[in-house]
Structure 1
Amino acid sequence: MNRIAAAILIAFSALGAHAIAQTTAAPAASAVAPAYDLEQDVTRVMKAFDVPGIAIAVVKDGQVIAARGFGVRKLGEPAKVDGQTLFEIASNSKAFTAAALAMLVDEGKLKWDDPVVKHLPDFQMYDAYVTREMTVRDLLTHRSGLGLGAGDLLWWPTTNFSTDEIIERLRYVKPATSFRNSYAYDNLLYIVAGKIIARKSGKTWGDTVRERILKPVGMNTTTTSLAENAGNPNASNAHSKINDKIAAVKSMPVDNAVGAVGINTNAEDIAKWMKVLLDGGRIQGAKGADGKELRLWSEAQSREMWTAQTPMKISQPKGPLAAARPNFYAYGLGFQLRDYKGQLVAMHGGALQGFYSRVLLVPESKLGVAILTNAESGGSLNALQYRLLDQYMTGSAPTDWIKLIADDEDRRHSEELARLKKTSTTRVAASKPSLALASYEGQYTDPWYGAMTIKREGKKMILSFTRTPDLTGEMEHFQHDTFIVRWKERNFNADAYVTFALDHEGAIEHVKMKAVSTETDFSYDFHDLLFTPVKPAKAKL
């Protein structure tokens, strides 16, 4: 593999400049309706969804016809987003993990249906049967039996668990369904996939992706960790809502979750990546040391990645939004697969603190669209997704997706605020905890996460997750033996109920948690935790 990687690097020593030049070239006359005003639509979206900055990349018929930025990198500061402004793309990194595995399959170093334990002998799931039967393919297809986002609190928000610790703790995460029964999005198994890549290449996931994908493709400013962004002034800041008002916040380093997340890129670089994906792994115009066309992976592996592996539930939008309903929806290998206007769309989204992104590929139309944002707005992605697909697939705009989706998002948010208000007003406010507050203090442990503590600081009760520095907050009584913890980091928007269950003697038996709002990101998987009190060790006689 090292020999192949070296040949690729030599062959592409001059490719980067060529690819960058393409991002500023004029589009082919037939590529797009000349009257289309991309800036007008993006500006509308930024205003409608409170997004400070957006970068857009569009590839059509093998040419980059847009790779530019809009808005600002950080709210309140003048620096503009441009085609080279870096954004965290979170789970859009999963496609790079799938591609790296595909390259290893092509080289005969592993097979998609190899048992995971063949390559990671210490790998273990909760169930021994699943441990034995789990394949490399299963790691990428979200059908393991784990619940939605199960175990994500091992890395989200930033924790001090190592990657190996996260993988080791998988054995304590209980499944929600039977193995291969249904789709439920997870991140932990992509972390395992990243570990396999590192094991087979003899280098870290980041180094492998950089040397074998980023450099050959010419993605010269893309990085595989936030640490690599240090010193680059052209990096976007994260933004979140705090009390429904957009604000600049700190980024979330998640170096222990590479494989699932990790890539930071920009419009110019991701345009190059989309060209390779649309061309089945071939790098346009490039030749290897043997004079043959240079491919990162075979056409057979492209078909594998874009073949449905796990069916996904199709939602039933109402009214005008029903036009967006797909006829099929499935997960492939690192890509979601659906149809739109009769054509296959291979796509994925990404979400980390302060950054949302989406990549869409329509092979029949030879179209690729990437949307990078520095805010947490799924609505902005949806609005631009359909607007841009309509424009570049058909050259028309029959539906005002921006207004429709903004109105729908406003309605849903208003309904959630009303629900929360009702919940607050219907609680038994006069109820009191069963025990004195001092009785709730102490250390508690969950089988897969580990310890959290509750202690008094003056008149306040403070709950802290011991391996997650930012998950610390003040507890306030809600009703009976349920409290609400309000996190110090208000941009998490993830306050949670904390409910204590007592045994027949009136002692705390266990503690369960649940997000207060249905809008809380699913990676705050508080509902999967079951904390039990840690009893003090008995003194030795």
Structure 2
Amino acid sequence: MNLSHRFSCLLLVLLCSACVSTVAVEQSEFNPSATVAPQVSRHSDTYIQNLLEEVVRDGRTVGVVVGLLEADGSRRVFSHGSPGAGARALAAESVFEIGSITKVFTGILLADMVRRGEVELSDPVSQYLPASVRVPSRDGREITLLDLATHRSGLPKMPQGLVDDDYARYTIQHFYDFVSSYELPRGVNESYEYSNVGMALLGRALELRADKPYEALLRERVLDPLGLEHTAVTLTPALEQRLAYGHNAFGDPAQRWDLPAMIPAGSLRSTVHDMLTFAAANLSAITTDAHDSLRDALRVHRPADEEGYEMALGWEVHRLGDRLFASHSGDTWGYGAFLAIDLSTRRAAVALSNAGSAGVSGLEFHLLHPSIPMRERSVSLPVVAAYRTGGLEAAIDRYRELYEEAHDRWVFDEWALNSVGYWLLARGVTDNAVDLFALNVDRYPDAPNPHGSLGYALLRASRPEEALQNYRRGVAVAEAAGHPDLSAHRANLERVLSELAQPD
């Protein structure tokens, strides 16, 4: 993927507030003892600032703050975009949800408790949970603390049946009830499966073993010893004032991530400043209890799902080219967080975004290694950004422009325009949605879903005859292709016929 370096002189004005760009250079006390790799390519300040302007203009995020830690301890911090309506301008001290990067801290807490002799990696997690909790097992193999920390427990990503609106009301007892009722689909440590459930269960076991709430335990053992004053689950009034407001993938305000039953899996908030301090501590040769726990947590224990990826305690460790990285990311409803430490060159990068769905995913690696591109994202993001500034015509023009000139930078599939169409329907702009769905049908005539979606929009526009035509086309296309969702398309057609009381 070749990032375009052509930037529009048009000032992008987001609906929520004006975009602001800043760049800052800091110096830390970090003084690495290891030899730095002889050749390290660095992006210029101008390149990075232009890149951030581009990712905001393209709708990958509403606002973003990035930081780079160099091997000599120097720091560079850049920001661009909107913090959200009424929020303070973006800066190194802006507060973001960091989502699943919390798992790294839970892994470090585990390493700390192992060092203190409070637990062993091989301990069954059931040993530290209430007797009323039935932890699933298989073939006589119990789930251990190490299985949980490396995502090889067999537990699922999220509790089944948990929907977004229930997160804040989902209690510890609900969580325990789910774990107790769950049956493992495979053997423990048989394969990798990323699990918020597993990491939350690990954190719960650790806090019960220490007889101290997770946040207080993490503060005492990790956050305070490392000087991470602006990293917390519960925001103080001062941190609340510096919070950047979250948005969904299309830039609409999003609710905060509030899942109290699963805090150890993804509930920390932090700043670029603290994340760079944390990265420096992981690269430091200092010997304190906290720093020793950081090193222990970076030791690889198990393979992950992708070739070359391995699991330490919470960290993903992997090679990209000739570099060895430890990294993690986090994606909540309104934020994206990305941290990568280049263990080969003793450098690090962090990117914190106030928009969900990982629009700036891969930025952290690209900042560290120019040959590593940012990850391709759905073309729906720049299409929505264009719609916000120029309406339907601008959105369609942007889609066509990117299709012709930057096809390798974006994911073009039947779902891209479909998602924009449903976004427009949710905003009550039905006629514009119909036009977007129609364009999608023109692009993907042999895919059944665009026909059905156009039919749905036409029904919303009170055009039932045209709607039925498109539902029928969707079924015909699915039948011709032997599509796996054929039964669903037939059911949708039957439902519409019934609602219109019109025989087929």
Give yes or no for the alignment of 1:117 onto 2:126: yes
SS of equivalent to 1:369: strand
Asked if 1:341 is matched to 2:321, the reply is yes
Residue 270 of structure 1 aligns to which amino acid in structure 2? M
Give how far 1:89 is off. Answer: 0.2
Q: Distance in 2 between matches of 1:114 and 1:68?
A: 44
- The residue aligned with 1:41 is 51
After TM superposition, give the deviation of residue 174 of structure 1 in Å: 3.4
Aligned twin of 2:280: 275
The alpha-carbon distance between structure 1 residues 152 and 233, as it changes in their structure 2 partners (threshold 3 A), is: farther
Q: Are residue 59 (structure 1) and residue 39 (structure 2) matched? A: no
Distance 1:172 1:144, change over 3 A: same
The CA distance in 1 between the partners of 2:258 and 2:376, in whole Å, is 34
Determine if contact 2:88/2:244 at 8 Å carries over to the other structure.
Answer: no
SS of equivalent residue, structure 2 residue 177: helix
Structure 1 residues 317-349: Cα deviation after superposition (integer angstroms, max 9, x where no partner):
xxxxxxxxxxx1233220112111222111111
Secondary structure of 1:81's aligned partner: coil
Q: Confirm or deny: 8 A CA contact 2:149 2:313 kept in the other structure.
A: yes
Q: Map residues 181-200 of structure 1 onto 2, 5 A cutoff.
A: 181-200=190-209
* Residues 118-517 of structure 1 mapped to structure 2, 5 A cutoff: 118-122=127-131, 123-127=133-137, 129=139, 133-151=142-160, 153=162, 158-225=167-234, 227-228=235-236, 232-241=240-249, 245-279=250-284, 282=286, 293-298=287-292, 302-303=295-296, 305-314=298-307, 328-382=308-362, 384-390=363-369, 397=370, 401=374, 407=407, 410-416=410-416, 417=418, 418=440, 420-424=449-453, 478-479=492-493
What does 1:10-49 correspond to in 2, within 5 Å?
22=27, 33=42, 35-37=44-46, 38-49=48-59
Cα separation, partners in 2 of 1:31 and 1:310, compared to 1, 3 Å: closer
Q: Confirm or deny: 8 A CA contact 1:239 1:354 kept in the other structure.
A: yes
Q: Where in structure 1 are there 5+ consecutive unaligned residues?
A: 1-19, 283-292, 315-327, 391-396, 432-476, 483-541
Q: Which digits, 9 at most, give the CA deviation of each residue in 1:254-283, with x for residues without a partner?
A: 222111012100011111111112237x4x
Question: Is residue 72 from structure 1 mapped to residue 61 from structure 2 by the alignment?
Answer: no
TM-score by length of 1: 0.62
Tell me the alpha carbon deviations over residues 56-99 of structure 1, each in whole angstroms, 9 at most, x when there is no partner: 1222225141234332210x557321010000001000011010
In structure 2, do the counterparts of structure 1 residues 40 and 146 end up closer, same or farther at CA, with 3 Å as the change threshold?
same
Letter aligned with residue 261 of structure 2: N
Letter in 2 for 1:233: Q
Which moves more between the two structures, 249-258 or 143-152? 143-152
Whether the 8 Å contact between 1:52 and 1:73 is mirrored in structure 2 is yes
Alpha-carbon separation, structure 2, partners of 1:24 and 1:304? 22
Which has more strand, going by share of residues?
Answer: 1
Any idea what SS the aligned residue of 1:302 has? helix
Deviation digits for residues 480-499 of structure 1 (CA, Å, limit 9, x no counterpart): 589xxxxxxxxxxxxxxxxx
SS at match of 1:260: helix
Q: Identify the residue that residue 93 of structure 1 maps to in structure 2.
A: 102
Q: CA deviation at 1:361?
A: 1.0
Which residue number in structure 1 is paired with residue 3 of structure 2?
none
Go from structure 1 to structure 2 and tell me whether the alpha carbon gap of 1:121 and 1:41 turns closer, same or farther (over 3 Å shift): same
Q: Could you say which residue in structure 2 is the equivalent of 1:437?
A: none
Q: Note if contact 2:150-2:312 (Cα within 8 Å) is conserved in structure 1.
A: yes
Return the offset for 1:136: 0.6
- Distance (whole Å) between structure 2 residues aligned to residue 70 and residue 348 of structure 1: 22
- Once residues 159 and 402 of structure 1 are traced to their aligned partners in structure 2, the CA distance between those partners, rounded to angstroms, is 32
* Residue equivalent to 2:479: none
Q: Is the 1:344–1:363 contact (alpha carbons within 8 Å) kept by the matching residues of 2?
A: yes
Q: Could you tell me whether the CA contact under 8 Å between 2:451 and 2:474 is conserved in 1? A: no
Look up the equivalent residue of 2:284 and give its one-letter code: D
Task: Give the aligned length.
Answer: 378
CA distance in 1, matches of 2:376, 2:152: 35
Note if contact 1:97-1:334 (Cα within 8 Å) is conserved in structure 2.
Answer: yes
Change beyond 3 A, Cα 1:374–1:181? same
Match of 1:509 in 2: none
Q: Give the 3-state SS of the residue equivalent to 1:380 in structure 2.
A: coil
The TM-score, its normalising length taken from structure 2, stands at: 0.66
Q: Which amino acid aligns with 1:411?
A: V
Q: Is the 8 A contact 2:98 2:352 kept in 1?
A: yes
The CA deviation string for residues 287-331 of structure 1, in whole angstroms up to 9 with x for no partner, is xxxxxx4231527x72553314133134xxxxxxxxxxxxx1233
Provide the rounded CA distance (Å) in 2 between the counterparts of 1:269 and 1:240: 24
Contact 2:336 2:359 in 1 (8 A): no
Identity of aligned residues (%): 18
Which of the two has greater helix per residue? 2
Whole-Å separation in 1 of the counterparts to 2:183 and 2:27: 49
DSSP-derived class of the 1:378 partner? coil
Structure 2 unaligned blocks of 5 or more: 1-24, 31-35, 380-406, 419-439, 441-446, 456-469, 476-490, 497-504
Task: Give the secondary structure class of the aligned counterpart of 1:56.
Answer: strand
- Secondary structure of the structure 2 residue equivalent to 1:247: coil
Q: Distance in 2 between matches of 1:478 and 1:409?
A: 35
In structure 2, do the counterparts of structure 1 residues 413 and 85 end up closer, same or farther at CA, with 3 Å as the change threshold? farther
Amino acid at match of 1:66: R
Q: CA deviation at 1:137?
A: 0.4
SS at match of 1:65: strand
- What does residue 12 of structure 1 align with? none
